[in-house]
Structure 1
Amino acid sequence: MSADERPSAEETLLAACRALAPTVLDRTFELSLIPAPPLGETDRAERVRSWWEADGLTVESQSVGNLWARIREGDRSAPAVVVAAHLDTVFARDVPHGLRRAADGTVTGPGCGDDTVAVAALAALDRLLPAVTATPVWILATVGEEGLGNLAGARAAFDHPPAAVGAFIALEGNYLGRVNTVGVGSERRRVRIATPGGHAWEDATAPSAVHIAVDLIHAIDAVQVSHPAKTSRNVGLISGGESINSRARSATFDLDLRSESAAALDGLTAQVDAILAAASPGVTISVETLGSRPAGGIDSDHPLVAAAARALTEAGISPRLTAASTDANVAYHRQVPAVTLGITYGDGTHTEQEWIDPDAICYGLYALTRTIDQWPPSSRQS
């Protein structure tokens, strides 16, 4: 074979990614059968541990439930690249788990893209990266990324990492094409309202906890934020009352506040907290903080972002810079360069109809591998 006929390094890598994609998909199917609600990931973590050990990796665990494995030693004096995917899904244990193939070739089922396929893909990096890398490379399976998990796994990972962290890549299974550069921060509150209650007719002017909850929500919706960054507020759960003809003694609602900007989120939160603190006579309002996720980000021209964009372009995919709440939020808060990348295409996130495209897994593996291989930038300069 002549030099001109030999496959390029990129073609060789893509072929290796195609060869490994069926294993990633098989593991996705296997892992999908194991429920893993936030902070209830023990069974799923044990399955991942068994895979990694069978792959010849030495697995370290943290008390919170995280799993670590170093797949490249690199220069031990250099800070490591950490690639993380979260074990948990949004689905409770009583939801039917498992995946199915659709007629169009996609794979459908709870949690397949968020984040089961990404966890299944982590160990593939050990087969894809060059034997020698400029820095140590670790893979990390985290807990508590979803819902009220409050990024518990990522926080623990940065509190007690096995090595200094120089770059962090969070994997989301259905994000292929996205380079997430902004971590959307959030503040979550549970608001409880208590009143003496009464009869709907005889005590018609008595305060009703349900009415007060509605008034508070309306006031929160009316809050104006002067900061130009995108913000949102959402009441996802509400309950209360005793009967149709009673002035409600109690009501509860769960509130989610978000923004791309820490300053905007702080401003929104301060106004909302002031509204919640202004109780009327005969009314008790208690507020419980359910979670607090730091906002942050990385400059769009940062070398890590550029490496990810180049890698996607090499794979024939147009990169898009986006914002979301992921484990990378913690990295931003700790001043560590971070991006969030995807393994394949998909949609329907957080529904039982969630789906992924198995044919695109190879491109996600390629882009991830090439991103790591280009880091740190000084090691690739001539």
Structure 2
Amino acid sequence: MMESADRVVARTVELAEIPAPSGHEQARAARVAEWWRSDGLAEVHADAVGNLWARVRDGAGSAVVLAAHLDTVFDADTDHTTRRDGTRLLGPGVGDNTVAVAALAELHALLPPRTRRPVWIVATVAEEGLGNLAGAIEALRRPAAPIGAFIAVEGNYLDRIATRGVGSARSRITVSGPGGHAWERAAAPSAVHGAVALAAEALKRLPPMPQTSVNVGRIGGGEAINARARECWFEIDLRAIRPQTLAWRETALAEAIRVWRNGPDSAGLKETITDLGRRPAGEIPQEAPLVRAAESALRKAGRDVNLVAASTDANAAYEAGVPAIAIGVTTGAGEHTEQEWIELADLPVGLTVLADTVAELDDER
């Protein structure tokens, strides 16, 4: 096991230093393909959107597919250097999700020589941000083999089993108007004022609710401090665990726009709504064989079991009607920051849990 863990650490360091913002994962995918071919994996190939597939074990029936996403939230200008601090590895993207990609091929060494079901691995693209799970959706739509179970591997999810997929709906709302001089045309409508009023109306009609969130994450516009703005935009992210709840939240946003449009804050202005994408919500029953297999593997390793909700590649499987969970191979924190870190001492047990989850599921009758 230590040999596998050492190999995963070395590959994590190498891969983490290759930038891979969503839509630009090609260099990482090429390096992973070299590894997988040298590991002796079968049928290594890329699909139409750039996902990288390989078969770990042959077998009969539908396959167990393990996916880890290649992309990170960091652009190419970010310093991708990693560093060690005791038993921690620090650097942008090390846990989300580089270590998971590096771990996938270790199933070849850790699983029994023969499995009843086929086992495939896939390094997906476009999981982060506005990638909108495009890689996972394509993997589920046109898989390398029929899929019976789908496991999203997230680097620092050890001790967690994500059984519920947090869905999201994202929009950019642009407000525009005639603009004008801040003093000479002080009565002219301002797109900034209108957009701020519209965002406030939306937040008022989207109060905090259990298992939901709302976030106005970005806002921009205006031409000068002494000009009534001609244009202003903001981006809003709605999330919910249950599909029907997400639909209700979208209806509330539409009502907020309607109220604003018919009120005084919109006078002389107009709004344009751009759909930025969505992630499907869904879940797997806690008594499902896949969940039981993951729980058993964690308990066997003496680890805690925490059932959680998350937004991962598994969301795409829920929409496709495929049983799915998300699990991890180590612990860590700081995701989506340049101070991200993972605990290397937990990696051997994490790799064991990953392989045992597949083996336990393979034993299900």
TM-score (norm 2): 0.96
The separation in 1 between residues aligned to 2:356 and 2:8, in whole angstroms, is 18
Q: Give the aligned partner of residue 82 of structure 1.
A: 65
Which of residues 286, 295, 298 in structure 1 aligns to 2:272?
Answer: 286
Structure 1 position 274 matched with structure 2 position 267 = no
Tell me, yes or no, if the aligned pair for 1:257 and 1:269 is still in contact at 8 Å.
Answer: yes
Q: Give the aligned partner of residue 211 of structure 1.
A: 193
| Structure 1, unaligned runs of 5 or more | 1-16
Q: Give the aligned partner of residue 245 of structure 2.
A: 264
The separation in 2 between residues aligned to 1:356 and 1:68, in whole angstroms, is 26
1:306 partner letter: R
SS at match of 1:375: helix
Which of residues 220, 223, 226 in structure 2 aligns to 1:245?
Answer: 226
Tell me, yes or no, if the aligned pair for 2:279 and 2:315 is still in contact at 8 Å.
Answer: yes
Q: Give the aligned partner of residue 10 of structure 1.
A: none
The separation in 1 between residues aligned to 2:156 and 2:192, in whole angstroms, is 39
Considering only aligned residues, what root-mean-square deviation do their CA atoms show, in Å?
1.4
Which of residues 31, 50, 69 in structure 1 aligns to 2:54?
Answer: 69
Q: How many residues end up aligned between the 2 structures?
A: 359
SS at match of 1:217: helix
Which of residues 125, 131, 134 in structure 2 aligns to 1:143?
Answer: 125
Per the TM alignment, residue 175 of structure 1 is displaced from its structure 2 partner at its CA by 0.8
The separation in 2 between residues aligned to 1:186 and 1:71, in whole angstroms, is 33
SS at match of 1:92: coil
Structure 1 position 126 matched with structure 2 position 108 = yes
SS at match of 2:198: helix
1:304-348 C-alpha deviation (Å, 9 max, x unpaired):
111101101111111100011000000011111111001100000
Aligned 1:72-111 pairs, distance under 5 A: 72-75=57-60, 78-102=61-85, 104-111=86-93
TM-score (norm 1): 0.91
Q: Tell me: CA distance 1:107–1:295, structure 2 relative to 1, closer, same or farther (3 Å).
A: same
The separation in 2 between residues aligned to 1:46 and 1:188, in whole angstroms, is 31
Q: Give the aligned partner of residue 145 of structure 2.
A: 163
Q: Which moves more between the two structures, 51-60 or 133-142?
A: 51-60
Per the TM alignment, residue 301 of structure 1 is displaced from its structure 2 partner at its CA by 1.7
The separation in 2 between residues aligned to 1:49 and 1:220, in whole angstroms, is 46
Q: Give the aligned partner of residue 35 of structure 2.
A: 51
1:184-234 C-alpha deviation (Å, 9 max, x unpaired):
0000111111110122223223211111111111111111469x6411111
1:32-75 C-alpha deviation (Å, 9 max, x unpaired):
11100001100000000000011112302112110110110012
Structure 1 position 319 matched with structure 2 position 305 = yes
Q: Which moves more between the two structures, 205-214 or 158-167?
A: 205-214
Segments of 4+ moved more than 4 angstroms? none
| Structure 2, unaligned runs of 5 or more | none
Tell me, yes or no, if the aligned pair for 2:289 and 2:364 is still in contact at 8 Å.
Answer: no
1:65-115 C-alpha deviation (Å, 9 max, x unpaired):
10110110012xx1100000000000001101121001x321100000000
Q: Tell me: CA distance 1:107–1:378, structure 2 relative to 1, closer, same or farther (3 Å).
A: closer
2:269 partner letter: V
The separation in 2 between residues aligned to 1:108 and 1:376, in whole angstroms, is 35
Q: Give the aligned partner of residue 13 of structure 1.
A: none
Aligned 1:292-307 pairs, distance under 5 A: 292-307=278-293
